[in-house]
Amino acid sequence: MNDIGNGVLPFSVQQLIADVQAHLTERPKLARMFNNCISNTLTTTLKPLEDGTVFVITGDIPAMWLRDSAAQVRPYLILANEDGELSDLVANVVRRQIHYIQLDPYANAFNEAENGNGHQDDKTDMSKWIWERKYEIDSLCYPIQLAYLLWRTTGRIDHLDEHFRKACHIIMTLWRTEQKHNEHSPYTFERIDCPVSDTLPYEGKGTPVGFTGMTWSGFRPSDDACEYGYLIPSNMFAVVVLGYMEQIASEVYQDEEWISQASLLKAQIQAGIEEYGIVDHPEFGRIYAYETDGLGNYNLMDDANVPSLLSLPYLGYCTLDDPLYQNTRKFILSQHNPYYYSGTAAQGIGSPHTPPQYIWHISLAMQALTSQHQSEILSLLHTLENTDADTDFLHEGFHMDRPEEYTREWFSWANSLFSELILTYCGYTVPSGKIQSS
């Protein structure tokens, strides 16, 4: 991979930065922030390994999250068709992710080597490869989406090899198992002497759930425990990813059995979403819940971390103008969402993962990426530009009145999503999460 991982920007990225800066001559700070953010992952978080794969740290945590690593390199897909070095980078990140999924599909974050770093004292089936073993549906979705988008963007299929196919079958088997979590799941997780959000109750099994057709998740993409085990946006992401599997199984493998298995599971999860994931709200009408247990309990909220209800069009689950999505969007961007904060510096969605009144840059970028209104997009760009605490980088959460008070100095996922937003704003076609026709 030549200079990638050695702190040197490929020429194609340098040229992209120059082109974006030309688009943003009247917004010099946004241009400067884009330069820093699009460069950040390439120059600070990548480590090519001896086996040819690429290890990606999140920034200030020296571990590779399956979710974050996919999101961190996704902006470079815009150049992957013209720059073989960047195409190889994404392919080799995918290969590393697939390797980890085969090691343990219940883990969310991994070590570079079998070194025993991370949360080795957790009561779960840990190994020295694993940094953390919080099971999150989205950890299995993101690598498959990245692999799919690389294929549809460049036409290459070398990364869709037998290891990839094996990982897809591992994922489908796990999701089928977790459709009946109480009866069939081998997974438990407990952490000692920690906040409630860092562990699962009921001896590590989580709160009871009934059968819905959806697949269970222990934790949210925030790495916080689910209140109720059926996490609706993550199940929606699973539906999208099973559609990717169907297309890969058909066009790359001509594997009818794989197509059938993916199609059936996708239909079951979708039926569960439609029956159990929608509620009637007295003010907003029919909206999606964030979580349910299939036993009559619902959690009406949204979290800043993706997959979120706000991100559904970005994930490829629905269109921007879908009525259910629009109703849900109005709910989650209002004070009815317990994690929507409105202050003197910003208003937007935060997370129980960070202190109250902390808004996340990821949620602001996602709100802009899923907006149909230019005035809203411009307002959000202004907010992003003015809540960086004069660092020219984005962070995790910041106080709604005092953006100089923030969490995570070095958070590559936020920088990458901001980069996608700026590219979209400047008119570039960024690869979409939607199923793409041949």
Model confidence band, residue 432 (pLDDT cutoffs 50, 70, 90): confident
Asked if the model's pLDDT at residue 2 lies above 60, the reply is no
Model confidence band, residue 215 (pLDDT cutoffs 50, 70, 90): very high
Which pLDDT value is given to residue 272?
A: 98
Which pLDDT value is given to residue 435?
A: 85
pTM of the model: 0.97
Contacts of 60 (CB under 8 A, 6+ apart): 408, 409, 410, 411
Which pLDDT value is given to residue 438?
A: 67
In tens, the pLDDT along 70-100 reads 999 999 999 999 999 999 999 999 999 999 9
What is the pLDDT of the chain when averaged over all its residues?
Answer: 97
Which pLDDT value is given to residue 1?
A: 52
Model confidence band, residue 177 (pLDDT cutoffs 50, 70, 90): very high
Contact 416, 404 (CB under 8 A): no
Mean pLDDT of 132-142: 98
DSSP-assigned beta bridge partners for residue 279? 287
Picking from 208, 209, 189, the residue whose alpha carbon sits closest to that of residue 200 is 189
Crossing angle for the helix pair 28-44 and 11-23, to the nearest 10 degrees: 160
Asked if the model's pLDDT at residue 7 lies above 80, the reply is no
Cβ neighbours, 10 Å, residue 128: 12
Please give the domain boundaries of the chain with CATH numbers for all domains.
Answer: 11-425 (1.50.10.10)
Mean pLDDT of 34-49: 96
In tens, the pLDDT along 245-261 reads 999 999 999 999 999 99
Radius of gyration of the chain (CA): 20
The percentage of residues in the chain with a pLDDT greater than 70, rounded to a whole number, is 98
Contact 418, 365 (CB under 8 A): yes
The percentage of residues in the chain with a pLDDT greater than 90, rounded to a whole number, is 96
Distance CA 372, CA 201 (A): 41
Q: Are strands 109-110 and 130-132 parallel, antiparallel or unpaired?
A: antiparallel
Asked if the model's pLDDT at residue 296 lies above 80, the reply is yes
